[in-house]
Every structure is written in C-alpha cells, then in structure tokens.
Amino acid sequence: MAQDTRLVEALSFDDVVLVPSLSPVEPWQVDITSKASRNVRVNVPLLSAPMDTVSEWRLAVALALLGGVGVIHRNMPVEEQRRHVERVKSHPVVELADVAVYEGEECCRVREAMRSLGLRQLPIVDSAEAVKGYVEFVDLEACSCGTPVAKLVKPGPVFELGEEGKAVDHVKRGKLDAAAMTLKGRFLGTVSVHEALAVYNPALDEEGRLRVAAAVSPFDAKRAETLDGVADILVSDVAHFHNVNVLDAAKRLVKSLESDFVAGNLGTREGVLDTVSRLEKVDGLRMGIAGGSICTTSGVAGIAAPTLFAVMQARSALEEMGIGLDTIPVIADGGVRGPGDAVKALAAGASAVMTGYMFAGTDEAAAPLVRIGNKLYKPYRGMASRGALEKRYAADRYSRVAKRVEEGIEGLVEYRGRVRRVVLEFAEGLKAGLGYAGASSIPELWRKARFARITSRIGAYTGVVKTSW
Ligand code: XMP
C-alpha cells in the first residue's frame, strides 16, 4: 500500500537514542573537529544562536577561543553589528589575564599575590604601561619588605599582538608562567599557564584571526553588503526560508557574496532541494523550525519541523542531489539541551549544532544577571517574542514586519558561569557519545550511527531533586 504523504513521522531528540557499537577508540581520542559552513572549520561543532540575549562580541570571542563560532545577532543597526564582528576579528586569539605588577609595588605584597595566583613569574610594568621585564617568585622569597619590585626585575620575552601562538608555545614549554602581551608596546594582558595548558584550540581564519559569523535577513541587502568579507559566515535569520519571496531575495543577495552563506531556517527535504537548486551559492543549511526552547510557533501556528527530523530531511535532499554532508554542512538549530541531543543531531547528518539555550545563562551572554532570592538567572528571549520584536522595529529600519503575532517567549535561565565550562563539558559529552557509537570522528558517526526509537524517556530523573545544573 502506498504511504500517505499527508502524514509523515517527524522524530525529535527524545524519541530516539543511539545504539552503542564496537568502538575503535577511547573517548579522549575522538576527533570532534567539523565544519560550520563550506569554508569554515571548527574545532568544536558549536554555533551560538543569533539572539539578542545571547550572541554579541563577548560570547563570540569566548566561543571562538574554544573552537566554535558565534553568530552575532541582527537586532541592532548594521553599523553596530559590524563593530561587534570587527571586535571579534581584532581580538587576541588567546585568553588574556589581566595580571601584572606595577614596578613601584612593594615586594612582600607581590610575593603574597603570586602565591595566591600560583604563578612563578609576573610581568612588571611602569606607569606608561611599558613592560620592563619579569619578577620571579624565587627572588621574592627572601626580599625585605618595603623594597620595590623594580629592584628585582629580570629580562624576558614580551609578545606583541599577533604573536599569541608564540606566547602560548613559550608558556606550554614551561619557560614562563605568565607571558606578557603588548599592543604597540603597551601592556595588554598575560597568557597564563592556567589558560594555555587547559585549552587552546581557537577557531581561526586564514589570517590567524578568530572566526565569527553574523545574522542577516535575506531582504536586508545593505546589512549583507556591510558585513560581507568582514564576517566569515552570513547566516540567514528568517523563520521560514522556504518562501518564494525569501528565496527570490536570497537569490539576489548571494550573487556577489564573498563570505560563506548559510541558508535557513529550513525544515524539509523540499525546502532544501528548492534552496540549493535556486541559489547560486549555499554554503550551509540551518535546519529546524519551532524546536527551540523559547519557541511558541507550534502552539501559535501549529507548525514545526523538529530539529532531528529537519536534519534528516536535509541529509535526504543532499543525498538526492549527490552533494556530500561535508560540502554543504548542516547545522542543527533549536532544542539542543546538551551534548546528548547534539550527538543525536550529528549522527543524523549535522556537522554542527546551534544553541541559544546552552549559552544564555553564561557570563558572556549579552544579558545582565538577575537575582531572585539567593539564586542567579539571566534573561533569555525568543527573537519573535514581544520584547525582541519591539526593539527590532525601533532599531532596524530594514527589518520587515511580516507577521503580527508573537512566536516566542521571554524568560529566565539559570546562571551557568563561564562559557568555557559549558563548552568543555559539551566537548567531553560529545566525545563520550561518539565513543559509545563506535565513531572516532563526525564523518564516521554519519556512516555508522544507528538509532533506536524509544517509547518513553529513559534515565531516572523522576523524583531525583537535581542539586547541580
Ligand atoms: P534554543 O533551543 O537553543 O533554540 O533556545 C534557539 C533557536 O530558536 C529559534 N528562535 C525562535 N523560534 N520563536 C521561534 O519559534 C522565536 O521567538 C525564536 N527565537 C529564536 C532560532 O532558530 C534559534 O537559533
């Protein structure tokens, strides 16, 4: 009997699990490098969602330093969005700690400070912020209190912006615990052993700068022009890309683009086929409709393309056109709560996942902390929520009011600390997942993964009061 195409099965993350398989490697050997778009490689397959409580330059810098890519939101004038992008591009490609000692500082205080920082050397700067050299902890042990550290200064290498790699190398080889970096001769910060040894895996462009993406509407040619060649990727940011007007606008827009162009959001095989066949340039697909944590589209409009389903649809379309998953990478967008969901999305054919939810509670997310009683939160809102819509139309004359209904909520998420913690835990979870699935890399996962449908969520959460997030 022919299948009734009026009713198809659309699975979402909780409907399936991955089945374990014989593994050739240990989790720590798993390679999770991937692509965010055709020409942009990432060391961690993570993009931040272009949302105004999440993705501005601070988050994009933190994420790129850890190997992912931030997508700067577009709920601001285009000149401002470009400044965010440029700020990421001109940022040092290593995390800098703001630790140095003024040359007039008294040596016993410096000794105590170094003891608590756990560093064997610190740079010494003068009042003009020039680096004079380094003070060694061993030289302070016997110093008589009151002596200025200037008396104990020793020469050492100082690294100008652009030489971050050399500075990290120096620290990694144990030559210095805190290597001074300067900008045009003025102290900028130090590459400390704590940062350099823990993680140093930034996502860099061909010129050695941090990777960054920017959100654009296909209707907003001026925005795209302003950001083209400045951001590595222009990410289409409309709820329904599979719309004739959107496709026509995108067709005009992509013709002259230098940056990679990611089309989206899309939810179906037909949507991908139409997009790839009509547009001269598609360098990635942003898949998933109404699956996000703050989305109300399915309630308001009865429409959804759950992210896992949407990724599978993209994979079918690409296979049909004979295009490799590596050529037009698929980004799974919406509803990713942690690495478990991400492993499922990757197994289905995604090259990377996009999340707002996982980043919204971090220090670097673009919203202020909120305190309720003795708990900390951060605001997180959908870009089609009332608050975001009101701001958008005031700030951006290029945006179009196509719909007069809210499709997102405004809420709070628990505070999570630094992005770094979230990304490192995420990466470990991914490696564990790939390890169980018997894959040593994401392309191997695409080939080997086997899903099983489940009838209810597994894992015992009911009745357990969570005391950690
Ligand atoms: P998460 O699950 O990370 O999802 O919160 C982020 C994605 O949700 C989409 N998005 C929206 N979808 N109404 C929607 O239906 C909205 O107001 C809205 N705002 C964001 C978007 O794809 C984002 O990347």
**Where does the pLDDT of residue 29 fall: very low under 50, low under 70, confident under 90, or very high at 90 and above?**
very high
Residue 407, ligand 1, Cβ within 6 A: yes
Question: Looking at 78-87, 157-166, 191-200, which range is the least confident one?
Answer: 191-200
Listed ranges 1-10, 18-27, 292-301, 303-312; the one with the highest mean pLDDT? 303-312
Residue 293, ligand 1, Cβ within 6 A: yes
Is 324 part of a structural domain of the chain?
A: yes
- Please report where in the chains the tokens 């302003």 appear, as a residue: 226
Q: Answer yes or no: do 225 and 347 share one domain.
A: yes
Pocket perturbation via mutation, ligand 1, pick of 294, 308, 330, 413 by most ligand atoms within 8 A of CB: 294
| pLDDT for 405 | 77
| pLDDT for 393 | 56
Mean pLDDT, rounded, for 304-316: 98
Q: Answer yes or no: do 330 and 450 share one domain.
A: yes
Q: Answer yes or no: do 230 and 105 share one domain.
A: no
First to last CA, the chain: 49
Residue 283, ligand 1, Cβ within 6 A: no
Contacts of 287 (CB under 8 A, 6+ apart): 264, 265, 266, 267, 272, 305, 307, 310, 311, 313, 314, 330, 331, 332, 333, 350
Is 462 part of a structural domain of the chain?
A: yes
- Kindly report the CATH number assigned to the domain that includes residue 164: 3.10.580.10
- Atom index in ligand 1 nearest the CA of residue 384 equals 17
Q: Answer yes or no: do 452 and 363 share one domain.
A: yes
Nearest one of 73, 44, 347, 22 to 217, comparing CA atoms: 73
Q: How far is the centre of ligand 1, averaged over its atoms, from the C-alpha of 396 (Å)?
A: 19
Nearest CA to ligand 1 atom 9: 292
Q: Answer yes or no: do 327 and 363 share one domain.
A: yes
Q: Answer yes or no: do 88 and 116 share one domain.
A: no
Q: What three-state secondary structure class fits 231? A: strand
Q: How far is the centre of ligand 1, averaged over its atoms, from the C-alpha of 49 (Å)?
A: 8
Q: What is the pLDDT of residues 231-245, one digit of tens each?
A: 999 999 999 999 999
Q: Are 452 and 14 in contact (CB under 8 A)?
A: no
Mean pLDDT, rounded, for 196-221: 90
Question: Looking at 328-342, 416-430, 445-459, which range is the least confident one?
Answer: 445-459
Last residue of some domain: 160, 176, 196? 196
Average pLDDT, the chain: 92
Q: Give the pairing type, strands 178-183 and 186-192.
A: antiparallel
Is 255 part of a structural domain of the chain?
A: yes
Mean pLDDT, rounded, for 383-400: 68
Mean pLDDT, rounded, for 382-408: 70
- Kindly report the CATH number assigned to the domain that includes residue 235: 3.20.20.70
* Distances 103 to 110, 126, 139, 175, 298 between C-alpha atoms, Å: 10, 6, 15, 22, 62
Q: What is the pLDDT of residues 164-186, one digit of tens each?
A: 889 988 888 888 889 999 999 99
Is 7 part of a structural domain of the chain?
A: no
**Where does the pLDDT of residue 398 fall: very low under 50, low under 70, confident under 90, or very high at 90 and above?**
very low
Q: Answer yes or no: do 120 and 260 share one domain.
A: no
Is 138 part of a structural domain of the chain?
A: yes
Q: Are 172 and 201 in contact (CB under 8 A)?
A: no
- Atom index in ligand 1 nearest the CA of residue 354 equals 24
Q: Answer yes or no: do 23 and 81 share one domain.
A: yes
| pLDDT for 402 | 61
Nearest CA to ligand 1 atom 18: 382
Mean pLDDT, rounded, for 15-42: 95
- Note down the domain range covering 211: 13-93+202-468
Q: Is the pLDDT of residue 395 over 70?
A: no
Q: Answer yes or no: do 290 and 431 share one domain.
A: yes
- Which residue numbers are catalytic? 295, 397
Is 2 part of a structural domain of the chain?
A: no
Q: Is the pLDDT of residue 378 over 80?
A: yes
Is 4 part of a structural domain of the chain?
A: no
Last residue of some domain: 196, 226, 248? 196
Q: How far is the centre of ligand 1, averaged over its atoms, from the C-alpha of 75 (Å)?
A: 14
Segment (H or E) for 236: strand 233-236
Is 27 part of a structural domain of the chain?
A: yes
Domains identified in the chain, total number: 2
Residue 75, ligand 1, Cβ within 6 A: no
Q: Is the pLDDT of residue 401 over 60?
A: no
Residue 53, ligand 1, Cβ within 6 A: no
Instruction: Select the more confidently predicted residue: 437 or 468.
Output: 437
Q: What is the dihedral of CA 332, 336, 341, 343, to 10 degrees?
A: 50
Nearest CA to ligand 1 atom 1: 292
**Where does the pLDDT of residue 193 fall: very low under 50, low under 70, confident under 90, or very high at 90 and above?**
confident
Q: Answer yes or no: do 229 and 256 share one domain.
A: yes
- Atom index in ligand 1 nearest the CA of residue 409 equals 17
Q: Answer yes or no: do 210 and 173 share one domain.
A: no
Q: Is the pLDDT of residue 57 over 80?
A: yes
**Where does the pLDDT of residue 465 fall: very low under 50, low under 70, confident under 90, or very high at 90 and above?**
low
| pLDDT for 458 | 62
Last residue of some domain: 196, 217, 245? 196
Residue 333, ligand 1, Cβ within 6 A: yes
Q: Answer yes or no: do 313 and 439 share one domain.
A: yes
354 bridge partner residues:
47, 333
Residue 435, ligand 1, Cβ within 6 A: no
Q: Is the pLDDT of residue 468 over 70?
A: no
| pLDDT for 397 | 42
Q: Is the pLDDT of residue 386 over 90?
A: no
Residue 295, ligand 1, Cβ within 6 A: yes
- Atom index in ligand 1 nearest the CA of residue 335 equals 2
| pLDDT for 461 | 56
